[in-house]
Amino acid sequence: MAKSWFKKAGVIALAFVAYRGYQLYELGNSFSYRFKGMFFRRPKGLDLVNNLIIVLEYVIVNPTKSSLKMNGMYGTVSVKGQQIAAYQSGPFTIKPGETPIKVEMVVNPYFAATTLLPDVKKGNFPIFDTTLTAVFPFRITHTEKFAINTKDYIPSSVLPLFV
C-alpha cells in the first residue's frame, strides 16, 4: 500500500515538474530580444592604456504579465569570425513590458590596437557579430544573434578618443 502511494506521488511530482518546465519554455518563447545600442568606454586607472570596454545594451520584451527570474545571460562578440570579447551577466528579473539589460566586456587589447582602432581611424567600421544566450531556470537557454554595424553607434564627437 505504501509503495503504491509513493509511486503515484512520484508520477504526480514528475508530471508537475514536466508541466512547469513546459510553461517556462512557452514563456521564454514569448519573449523577444532587441539590440538597443552600444558604446565604447575606456576604463579608469591603470587599465586605461591596455583595455577598451564595449557596453552592449539589449532590451528583452515580455508581452505577458508575469515576471521571471533569470539565471543570467552570456554571449560573445566576433569580427570576421575572430572572437574579440565575451560577457556574462549575473542573475536578473525580466519584468512585464521591456527590461533593459547592459553588459560590459573588455575587448581583446591586441585586436583593439592592431585592427579596431586603425580601421576606425581609416573610416572602416567593423561589423560586430554578437550572440546573446539567455539562461532560464532549469538551465533552459535561448540564443539570439545580431549583426551590429559599429558605424551606427560611434558618434563623430567620440571618434577623437580612438584616434
* Residue 44 and residue 63 in one domain: yes
Residue-wise pLDDT tens digits, 77-95: 999 888 989 999 999 999 9
* Residue 149 and residue 105 in one domain: yes
Is the Cα dihedral 15, 20, 25, 29 positive or negative? positive
Residue 130 lies in a domain: yes
Measure the N-to-C terminal CA separation of the chain; round to a whole number of Å.
Answer: 79
- Residue 141 lies in domain: 31-155
In the numeric block, the cell 532560464 is attached to 136
Report residue 150 CA to chain centroid gap. 17
Q: The domain spanning residue 97 has which CATH number?
A: 2.60.40.10
* Residue 55 and residue 96 in one domain: yes
* Residue 134 and residue 145 in one domain: yes
pLDDT for the residue 98: 94
Percent of the chain at pLDDT > 90 equals: 31
Residue 163 lies in a domain: no
How many structural domains comprise the chain? 2
* Residue 125 and residue 101 in one domain: yes
Residues 6+ apart with CB under 8 A from 146: 35, 129, 130, 131, 132
Mean pLDDT of 13-32: 72
* Residue 143 and residue 96 in one domain: yes
* Residue 74 and residue 119 in one domain: yes
* Residue 17 and residue 76 in one domain: no
* Residue 93 and residue 17 in one domain: no
Residue-wise pLDDT tens digits, 96-138: 999 999 999 888 777 877 888 788 778 788 899 999 999 988 8
Residue 161 lies in a domain: no
* Residue 22 and residue 59 in one domain: no
CA 135/CA 62 separation, integer angstroms: 15
In the numeric block, the cell 573588455 is attached to 106
CA-wise closest residue to 134 among 60, 26, 53, 38: 60
Residue-wise pLDDT tens digits, 24-58: 666 667 789 999 988 877 777 655 556 778 899 99
Residue 102 lies in a domain: yes
* Residue 49 and residue 7 in one domain: no
Give the type of residue at 53. Answer: I
pLDDT for the residue 159: 54
The alpha-carbon radius of gyration of the chain (Å, integer) is 21
* Residue 49 and residue 104 in one domain: yes
Residue 160 lies in a domain: no
Residue 142 lies in a domain: yes
Across 36-64, b (16+ Cβ under 10 Å) vs e yields eebebeeeeeeeeeeebebebebebebee
- CB-CB neighbours of 101 under 10 Å: 19
Give the type of residue at 131. Answer: T
Higher per-residue confidence, 146 vs 120: 146
- pTM for the predicted model, two decimal places: 0.74
